[in-house]
Structure 1
Amino acid sequence: MKKLFLIIGAPGSGKTTDAELIAEQNDKITHYSTGDMLRAEVATKSELGLEIDQYISKGLIVPIAVAIKTITNAIKNAPTDIIIIDGYPRSMEQLNALDEYLRSDSSLELASVIEVAVSEETARDRVLGRARGADDNTEVFDNRMKVYIEPLNEIQSFYTDKGILKVISGEGTIEEIVAEMGTFIESKI
């Protein structure tokens, strides 16, 4: 049975970097970033990539069908039985679509949802300081934060009720955060 770990957090929380480092340190773990998967599709300039770009260039959520297809394909093709996906879910619609998929696939278990919690000030400083792409500017950041925060309480409640939400502070050093998250993931494998 494959075990899935989801990592959620505000833009700039460090969730992708944390997950990448954990996967690098453990060859039993495969990491996928929904943002990176979507940006890679945009870079191909395919029809799907152009459609995705219309959403992410404005800081909006990509349609559920596109996101679920991207994620389920990644899970099915993962070379390991432990999978970390960061940046998902970002809405109740995404959460419900994934939950429905997980109920229909007995070969996959959602082991935990890890929230990397940071202040909005920390998130803003990190995103605007890195300026990785066209979507890293104040206006888009503000929209991305709004999109992240609006469904957050519902998402937290859903996974808390299932007993699988783990909140980790993203305010420390990368080493501290990765060590705490890595130890937690190991305890669930």
Structure 2
Amino acid sequence: MKKLFLIIGAPGSGKTTDAELIAKQNNQITHYSTGDMLRAEAASGSTLGKEIESYISKGLIVPIKIAIETIVNAIKKAPSDIIIIDGYPRSMEQLNALDEYLQTDSSLELGSVIEVRVSEETARDRVLGRARGADDNNEVFNNRMKVYTEPLAEIQDFYSAKNLLHVISGEGTIEEIVSEMESFIKTKI
């Protein structure tokens, strides 16, 4: 059985970096970033990529059908039984679609949802400092924060009720955050 860990956090919370480092240090763990997967498809210039780009460039959520298809394909192709996906879910619609999928696939279990919590100030400083793409500017950051925070309480409540939510502070050093997250994941596998 494959075990899935979801990492959520504000833009700039460090969730992708944390997950990448954990996967790099543990060959039995595979990491996928929904943002990276979607950005790669957008950069490919395909028809699907152009559609994805039209959402990403405005800081909007990519439609559920595209996101779920991307995630399910990644899980099925994963070379290990422990999978970390960061940046998902970002809406109740995404959460519900994944939850429905998990109920129909007995070969996959959700181990935990880890929230990397940072202040908006820290998130803004990190995002605007890295300027990875056209979506890293103040206006788009503000929209991305709004998109992230609007459904957050509902997402937290859903996973808390199932005893699956685990919160980690993203304000420390990368080493501290990765160590805490990795230790927690290892208690669940």
Q: Same fold (TM over 0.5)?
A: yes
Residues 1:92 and 2:76 aligned together: no
Deviation at 1:105, TM superposition (A): 0.1
Residues 1:148 and 2:121 aligned together: no
- 3-state secondary structure, aligned to 1:116: strand
The residue aligned with 2:17 is 17
Deviation at 1:93, TM superposition (A): 0.1
Deviation at 1:33, TM superposition (A): 0.1
What pairs up with 1:1-189 in 2 under 5 angstroms? 1-189=1-189
Rounded to whole Å, the distance in 2 between the matches of 1:132 and 1:183 is 29
Counterpart AA for 1:6: L
Rounded to whole Å, the distance in 2 between the matches of 1:68 and 1:39 is 15
Rounded to whole Å, the distance in 2 between the matches of 1:162 and 1:177 is 24
Rounded to whole Å, the distance in 2 between the matches of 1:161 and 1:109 is 17
Note the residue ranges of structure 2 that are not aligned, 5 or more in a row.
Answer: none
Rounded to whole Å, the distance in 1 between the matches of 2:46 and 2:160 is 38
- 3-state secondary structure, aligned to 2:59: coil
- 3-state secondary structure, aligned to 1:90: coil
Deviation at 1:97, TM superposition (A): 0.1
Counterpart AA for 2:17: T
Deviation at 1:170, TM superposition (A): 0.0
- 3-state secondary structure, aligned to 1:5: strand
- 3-state secondary structure, aligned to 1:8: strand
- 3-state secondary structure, aligned to 1:135: coil
RMSD: 0.2
- 3-state secondary structure, aligned to 2:41: helix
Deviation at 1:8, TM superposition (A): 0.1
Deviation at 1:143, TM superposition (A): 0.1
Rounded to whole Å, the distance in 2 between the matches of 1:6 and 1:100 is 15
Q: Which runs of 4+ in 1 moved over 2 A?
A: none
Aligned length: 189
Of all paired residues, the percent bearing the same amino acid is 81
Deviation at 1:108, TM superposition (A): 0.2
Deviation at 1:154, TM superposition (A): 0.1
Rounded to whole Å, the distance in 1 between the matches of 2:77 and 2:24 is 18
Rounded to whole Å, the distance in 2 between the matches of 1:62 and 1:44 is 16
Rounded to whole Å, the distance in 2 between the matches of 1:23 and 1:164 is 21
Deviation at 1:184, TM superposition (A): 0.3
| TM-score of the pair, normalised by structure 2 | 1.00
- 3-state secondary structure, aligned to 2:89: coil
